[in-house]
Amino acid sequence: VTHPFIAAVQAAAPNCRLACDATGMEPFLTDCRGIFRGDALCVASPSTTADVAAVVGAARAHGVAVVPQGGNTGLAGGATPMGRQPQVVLHLGRMRAIRRIDRVGMTLEAEAGCILQSAKEAAQEKGRLLPISFAAEGSATVGGMIATNAGGINALRYGTVRQQVLGLEAVMSDGSVLRAMSGLRKDNSGYDWKHWLIGSEGTLGIVTAAVLRLSPLPTQRHVAFVAVDSPAAALRLLERLQDSVGNALSAFELMSGTSVARVLQHQGGRLPLEQAGAWYVLLELSDQAAAQLGPQLEAELFAAMDAGDARDAAVADNLDQMRQFWALRENITEAERHVGRSFKHDVAVAVSAMPDFIERASAAVTALHADLSLNVFGHLGDGNVHFNVLAPDGLESLGERVHHVVHDVVAACEGSIAAEHGIGQYRVTELQRLKPPQEMAWMARVKRALDPENLLNPGKLLPAEQNHVA
């Protein structure tokens, strides 16, 4: 027999596609790494905001939980159903229109299922930059990156996704549509509710469309690959560049020597330097002005080498080389698949505390088990690294202890255990353990106010039962 929720959706939103069979649902029930798996009554794929509202309304009427899903590229299981209650995966991939680009207003309006890369290309065709870049941008969607407040390699200069969102349209837990799509740059006429939803991982409302801020399109880019002895040396290089070309610095990424070696071994590519380094920095400068950024970058790199802060450096000569340099960075996550299980940590600490964090966390992991290896890379300029711990077959069960020791160092450094990937279901217990109880209690109050029946992505970010605790 058909579940009454399914019948209700069919009646209220006949154009909403529904997959209720195992094969049709399969891709939506597991995350991209295959470590989380859940069950659902069906997968609903609406093509309009009104149909999203109809699905949420029917879900509420029948006590069905709603798990929103975009490109399913998340690394924290936030878009994968969990638990035993009846639930629907709400797939937004059919809502992919780019509704408008305003050149002089520098805004782009897109629906939630629009692929980030398509939005970037559309902006670029109009001579504008949508400054959000990360390895999964070919599949990640506008709605997903807003729900997780994604970071990526350009947050250093432009901020995270939160800073790019000027307007939002969302379906709230009661099935109503909240709309603030004028894209005003200044609006102090009340609570700025869009910020409740950004980074809320689908627990407070479902983003259906957004107005994104665009930036001027840079006319010159310079990419350098630099070997350094240590994260501390990398920070000295960062400080040097802040002094000279600071405004043009659009990426400053740290990679351990072993992370890059793993990419070369499993994904191919070529090291652009003569000798392997203990650590590498991949940095990018970009600008519109005709200023002599290239020669300035080379002068700074020579000065850094003279000062002993850099071992060796290569500057890409052309677009092809830029791509090759960046591939060494962007393939790091993919290369992990060849090694075994990756216990991921998405850590933020003060930029200046990063060398200390890396040293202490590395020592803690090594002390736990000698066969664990490290994959440390990420957005040093933002004080955010992916401190991933790789476990060979047989050591999968160490996960919880590894998370504990790494996150204890994060806490000792007054950092955050989720810088850009979110909490999802991966870090719920660790968040409970480490976030001050008072903050958790206020988060739970907000959740109860906006989703009193706990139907929006339950169990993600906050523990499933949290909502019902007085």
Residues making contact with ligand MLT (CB under 6 A): 75, 134-135, 333, 378, 386
- Nearest-5° Cα angle at 419, 416 to 422: 105
Whichever of 75 and 88 has its CB closer to ligand MLT, that residue is 75
CB of 378 to ligand MLT, least distance (A): 5
Q: CA 430 to CA 402: how far, in whole Å? A: 11
Closest chain position to ligand MLT (CB):
333
How many C-beta atoms lie closer than 10 Å to residue 470's C-beta?
A: 4
CB of 300 to ligand MLT, least distance (A): 25
Element (H, E) at 164: helix 161-164
CB of 174 to ligand MLT, least distance (A): 34
CB of 190 to ligand MLT, least distance (A): 34
Whichever of 19 and 263 has its CB closer to ligand MLT, that residue is 263
Q: If we measure between CA atoms, which residue out of 457, 444, 450 comes closest to residue 59?
A: 457
Whichever of 60 and 407 has its CB closer to ligand MLT, that residue is 407
Q: CA 420 to CA 199: how far, in whole Å? A: 9
Q: CA 101 to CA 29: how far, in whole Å? A: 34
Whichever of 145 and 172 has its CB closer to ligand MLT, that residue is 145
CB of 227 to ligand MLT, least distance (A): 20
How many C-beta atoms lie closer than 10 Å to residue 188's C-beta?
A: 6
CB of 150 to ligand MLT, least distance (A): 8
Whichever of 94 and 266 has its CB closer to ligand MLT, that residue is 266
Q: CA 289 to CA 220: how far, in whole Å? A: 8
Whichever of 74 and 205 has its CB closer to ligand MLT, that residue is 74
CB of 282 to ligand MLT, least distance (A): 11
CB of 75 to ligand MLT, least distance (A): 6
- Are the CB atoms for 102 and 183 separated by under 8 Å? yes
Whichever of 170 and 254 has its CB closer to ligand MLT, that residue is 254
Q: CA 148 to CA 318: how far, in whole Å? A: 34
Q: Quick one: 273 exposed, middle or buried, by C-beta within 10 A (0-12, 13-18, 19+)? A: middle
Q: CA 470 to CA 468: how far, in whole Å? A: 6
Q: Is the dihedral of CA 433, 439, 441, 445 positive or negative?
A: negative
Whichever of 47 and 333 has its CB closer to ligand MLT, that residue is 333
